[in-house]
Structure 1
Amino acid sequence: MSDSSSNEVDATDQEHREVGRGLLDEEMGPSGAMAHLYRGEIHRMRFWRERLDRTTNWAVIILAALLTWAFSSESNPHYVLLAGSTVLCVFMTIEARRYRGYDIWRSRMRTLQKNVFAYGLDPSQGLEDQDWRAKLSKDYREPRLKISRTEAIAHRLRRVYLPLVTIILGAWVLRITAFADVSWPASAMIGVIPGTVVTATVFLSYIALFAIALNRKTWHAETELMTEDLRNK
């Protein structure tokens, strides 16, 4: 390596060191531009996280209301539970769209954490990404959604909605078997639609949701605490 190339590498490394170290200097404090930038990204991420939680809360409330109503009387139709599962899927779609927005701010926050704060605390571990400045600059110039709609839906299914749909499916099965005037499959009938067709449609829909939830071939979301991460020592 030539002396000029070596000097360029040393200058770049020194530049990265100063960014990380500056945020930890006492005289810089909270007035630093990078610190304000990080604080702003945290605020935006928190705002979008609250929007996610709000949708989840409404889904849980609707689920509880449907279960209470469905089992309050044997005369109440079972298909209201199926309508409730459709409402849950609508909430899931809305929440997936919000999750894509949330991932924008979280990915920026994680970029700063990994390449500024982590590096400033321990430069010996090196940088997570040598081109993080250029990538973050491009993201500020041209903000883009970083994950697909399918990935967002799969994430929200795994975290929230697949368990909720499983609960409402189990309640529906219990409703058409143990709490019905007639035996299955007649108890699953909806109008002129035979009970076998209704049951097959319900279970095929659930299998489709389960398959989407397990699809992680295009996982681009920023890392966060996963179950597997918590097990690692």
Structure 2
Amino acid sequence: MSEESPRRDWPNQEIESGTLGALAHLYRAEVFRSTHWRTRLDNTTNWAVVTTGIALSATFSNKDASPLPMVLVGLLVTVFLIFEARRYRYYNMFRARARLMESDLYAPILHGRKVPWGSEWSKMLADDYETPHYHISLARAAGRRLRSNYSWILAIQAVAYYGKIAIHPEPLTSFADVFARAAIGPIPGSFVMFAGLVFHLSWVVFAFVTLRLDKIYREKRQSPMQAI
């Protein structure tokens, strides 16, 4: 191996050094903002996990405890899911900008290729700064977070609720006792069980429908910023 490594001919970039430095600072800002919103996503998930844990503790604290906390926590987790979907739309916007600069600016430079100034990537980025907009709908954002985290939380909630009905105050001996134990005040147990079944089937269907929408949207997308 020779002492001197072969010289690599790097192309002259059309982007001025000052502009490239400004883009570097812009990239750092977008990474910071996406990281900040990613942290807020994790916080919302933590709230859902903690409240589910509290409901589990209250429900299984003794055999005479009511299963009502497990019913209410399902509604509360749904509210957290909506909050997180809204936050995910912000995260998705900032992450898309950073990803565009990574794939169309820094990657070509690292490969030793020339990055044309005023090309499609810079126009897309400029348009996104001039007219900021979400790159994903609230329903698709909720579907992504549901499939990633909240499906597990809701599944645990469902199993815990029916487990409470099955073992407390004593193990079931007949199926008829299920409806008696599921009753909430004047609300008959059959209605409560039916509402719970509809609720859980609804989020399962919603997860699959939004997954299909994601696939269709990616196939028809016209901008690489919309792939995130």
Question: Which residue in 2 is equivalent to 1:192?
Answer: 186
Alpha-carbon deviation of 1:136? 0.9
Aligned partners of 1:168, 1:153: CA distance in 2, in Å?
18
Q: Secondary structure at the match of 1:36?
A: helix
Partner of 2:199: 205
Give distance in 1, aligned partners of 2:186 and 2:47: 32
Match of 1:217 in 2: 212
The residue type paired with residue 186 of structure 1 is: A
Name which of structure 1's ranges 53-62 and 212-221 shifts more when overlaid on structure 2.
Answer: 212-221
Superimposed CA distance per residue, residues 9-56 of structure 1 (whole angstroms, 9 cap, x where no aligned partner)? xxxxx89x545xx8xxxxx69x81111110010111111111111111
The question of whether the paired residues in 2 share the 8 Å contact of 1:103 and 1:222 is answered with no
Contact in 2 for aligned 1:48/1:101 (Cα 8 Å): yes
Q: TM-score, normalised by structure 1?
A: 0.78
Letter of the 1:199 partner, please give it.
M
2:190 corresponds to which letter in structure 1?
T
Q: Sequence identity of aligned pairs in percent?
A: 32
2:109 corresponds to which letter in structure 1? G
CA distance in structure 2 between the aligned counterparts of 1:141 and 1:214, rounded to whole angstroms = 35
> Matched residue pairs, number?
201
Per-residue CA distance 1:112-156 (angstroms, 9 max, x = gap): 1110111212267x99xx622111111000100111010011011
In structure 1, the gaps of 5 or more residues are 1-13, 23-27, 225-233
Query: Is the counterpart of residue 177 in structure 1 residue 166 in structure 2?
Result: yes
Counterparts of 1:48 and 1:162, CA distance in 2: 21
Structure 2 unaligned regions, length at least 5: 1-10, 218-224
- 2:86 aligned with 1:92: no
| Equivalent AA in structure 2 for residue 36 of structure 1 | H
TM-score normalized by the length of structure 2: 0.79
Q: Which amino acid aligns with 1:66?
A: A
Match of 1:53 among 37, 42, 46: 42
CA RMSD of aligned residues (A): 2.7
Corresponding position of 2:134: 145
Distance 1:157 1:107 in 2: 21
Contact 2:178 2:189 in 1 (8 A): yes
> Match of 2:168, SS?
coil
8 A Cα contact 2:135 2:226, kept in partner:
no
